[in-house]
Structure 1
Amino acid sequence: MKNLFTLCFLFVALQQSFSQDADSLNQVVLKDTTYWNSEFSVGLNFNQAAFSGNWKAGGVNSIAFGSIAAGKANYAKGKLSWDNQIELIYGIVKNEGQQVRKSNDRIFFDSKVGYKAGGNWSYFGSINFLTQFTDGFEFGPDDQRTLISGFFSPAFLTSGIGMEYKPNKDFALRIAPFSPRFTFVTDPTIIQNVPSNYGVPEGQTVRTEWLALQLFATYNKDITDNLSIRSRYQMFANYETLAFRTIDHRLDVTLIAKITQFVDVTFTSINVYDLDMDPGIQYSQALALGILYKVNNKK
């Protein structure tokens, strides 16, 4: 009986101890996660067109596929913040009589650590990375391909230290007077078709620009429950070659209109001016109907 009483006492004591430890662990976990705001979305779209051989209005049989995956994980506690964003986009199109071509291709990652300075201003340090998944080609007569880009050819790794102005949750502007940038071209054959080699000196795989200014602005807003805009503008100016025509600009805009909970229409636009790539303004746009699934930790 005495042994039974002892076992019962030990069981109750251990149960209370485990219960207290579990409660403490839950409090720690809940306390930690309250400082994070995370979101992940993935979308797929498919387009197809077919015409009979005697279709008098004209047309080309085609199949197109597109995908987008985006995520963010932002931490904020007191004056300290840490924002992370990743964006992966890829699309292809196949027209009858032509090789498969890309319709979109982007890998983008951005990470920023901030510390509140006062009012709407913060000190920050950031790093962002941009490249593409697969080879890019210029198509000529008879569908001949000329290689002009690829994974890490080019790739841009840009850092920045400066001040950020954020008057509200929708808009933010980073001003980085010290913003080194590294441009990579790892495929030595690119220079045969792109003489500028995206600014990387011949015979080398990386160009370093230590003294530079960067402006980085974002505007992300849910205009209505079913319509949202995501935009990002980046300006880069090398102090050593500073002139109006040598300043790089890039503007990315995405509009998302929800039709149902999982079906949406997405418009993406990319606009680039970079003298090391091309003397003119480059732009691309895509409009797609597809499926978009989103999850977040908001309660």
Structure 2
Amino acid sequence: MKNLLISMLFFGCLVQGNAQSFGQIQKVEPVGDQIYPVGATPFITTSFDIVDFYEFNFNEIVPRSGRTSFWEKVNKFTFDLSEVAFLNWNAGGSNSISGLYGMNIARTYKNDGFRWDNQFRFVYGINQQEGQELRKTEDDLEITSSFGYEVSKNSKWFYSGKFRFKTQLARGYDYPDTEVSISEFMAPGYVFLGVGAKFVEPNKKFELYLSPLTQKSTFVLNQRLANQGAFGVQKALKDEEGNIIKEGKTSRNEFGILVTNEFEQKLFESTVLSSRLSLYTDYINNFGNIDVDWELVFDFKINNFMRASLGAHIRYDDDIKVKEAAADGTLVEVGPRIQLKQQLGVGIVLDL
């Protein structure tokens, strides 16, 4: 015990006596600005690499107002409203009111060659027309996250992995029939998970993602819809009398190529064009048959709080079959079709 105490005292004196020669902690008293450490350098290292002593330099003074954050953020909220009312209008017409709410929240981290992009998008619209029940006109929820590391110093290409989730919140109906839903939350739901390369041009707000290895999972968590084989899942097996022998599957997995592109282009001082494109094809099932999801929007700025928008949304999925009414009134499956949606709105926008 005595030898141990002597050894400890000797070691303490050694460190104290050599502090000046190896370096000592330097301090600068703050005068209005915050002081941050800029690095750590070893000045005593044991021969067994068990204990290292570090000197922290506090020589860089960064003003509180000027400290750089590695995060970039977007908080955008929109609300479009349209209304039509008639009083003694001899040409006829029905009173109606429509609302469309949009939310776009994004966070991007960039530091030392790493880039982490996260985005949450939600759009929901309703319409109330005289003599009809409240109807849903828009319902889209999407979460995207991609993480990448630059190929070379200051390169615009990144090795990337990407996760994407899409679904809706409320039930959808084939109006005027509101008894039986044709879609709902996670029916369908889509999950994309893959790796590839991402090209980013931040000044032009342009992104291109190429993934030769992407798994696409389709979920239909409504058993009735799954039994019908909706959205491409395997439908139920039935006997000659229509009784279900085996329930339909509630999920389907594919493995293929995913290409996505997003960009914004300022056309005029108050007009911005934005595009979001997604292309996917499966290696195993009908390779070369491409699923398309393309959204194109023109934003017209009126002032800092008001805007008008004109947009179109095109979708094509070979797994989504369209049904049409036959001569006897029954619904007959006629195969996939191009889905098109057009929208025009005027409303308010908040960028926080």
| TM class by smaller structure | 0.7 to 0.9
Instruction: Give the corresponding residue for 1:189.
Output: 224
Against the structure 1 CA distance between its residues 29 and 187, is the aligned structure 2 distance closer, same or farther, given a 3 Å change threshold?
farther
Against the structure 1 CA distance between its residues 237 and 27, is the aligned structure 2 distance closer, same or farther, given a 3 Å change threshold?
same
Distance 1:241 1:146 in 2: 31
Against the structure 1 CA distance between its residues 284 and 174, is the aligned structure 2 distance closer, same or farther, given a 3 Å change threshold?
same
Instruction: Give the corresponding residue for 1:283.
Output: 340
Distance 1:99 1:163 in 2: 47
Against the structure 1 CA distance between its residues 207 and 50, is the aligned structure 2 distance closer, same or farther, given a 3 Å change threshold?
same
Instruction: Give the corresponding residue for 1:51.
Output: 86
Distance 1:122 1:23 in 2: 34
Paired residue for 2:284, among 240, 248, 251?
240
Distance 1:43 1:181 in 2: 30
Match status 1:204 vs 2:261: no
Q: Deviations over 1:63-119 (max 9, x none)?
A: 111111111111111311111111110010011122211121110111111111144
Deviation at 1:138, TM superposition (A): 0.5
Instruction: Give the corresponding residue for 2:308.
Output: 265
SS in 1 for 2:34: helix
In 2, are the aligned partners of 1:257 and 1:264 still within 8 Å (CA)?
yes
Distance 1:127 1:144 in 2: 34
Deviation at 1:134, TM superposition (A): 0.4
Distance 2:167 2:311 in 1: 17
Distance 1:178 1:31 in 2: 42
Distance 1:267 1:292 in 2: 14
Deviation at 1:166, TM superposition (A): 3.3
Total equivalences in the alignment: 273
Paired residue for 1:34, among 65, 69, 91?
69
Distance 2:70 2:300 in 1: 29
In 2, are the aligned partners of 1:60 and 1:96 still within 8 Å (CA)?
yes
Distance 2:63 2:318 in 1: 52
Report 1 or 2 for greater relative contact order, CA contacts < 8 Å, sequence distance ≥ 6.
Answer: 1
Paired residue for 1:223, among 267, 292, 306?
267
In 2, are the aligned partners of 1:139 and 1:145 still within 8 Å (CA)?
no
Matching residue's letter, 1:228: V
Matching residue's letter, 1:38: K
Instruction: Give the corresponding residue for 1:123.
Output: 159
Deviation at 1:139, TM superposition (A): 1.6
Distance 1:138 1:208 in 2: 27
Distance 2:216 2:78 in 1: 31
Deviation at 1:22, TM superposition (A): 8.2
Structure 2 runs not aligned, ≥5 long: 1-26, 37-60, 236-247, 322-335
Paired residue for 1:80, among 114, 117, 129?
114
Distance 1:180 1:28 in 2: 47
Against the structure 1 CA distance between its residues 23 and 29, is the aligned structure 2 distance closer, same or farther, given a 3 Å change threshold?
closer
SS in 2 for 1:198: helix
Distance 1:196 1:114 in 2: 37
In 2, are the aligned partners of 1:250 and 1:271 still within 8 Å (CA)?
yes
In 2, are the aligned partners of 1:196 and 1:276 still within 8 Å (CA)?
no
Deviation at 1:214, TM superposition (A): 0.5
Instruction: Give the corresponding residue for 1:67.
Output: 101
> How many percent of aligned residue pairs carry the same amino acid?
27
Against the structure 1 CA distance between its residues 104 and 18, is the aligned structure 2 distance closer, same or farther, given a 3 Å change threshold?
farther
Deviation at 1:29, TM superposition (A): 8.2
Deviation at 1:269, TM superposition (A): 2.2
Bigger helix share? 1
Structure 1 runs not aligned, ≥5 long: 1-15
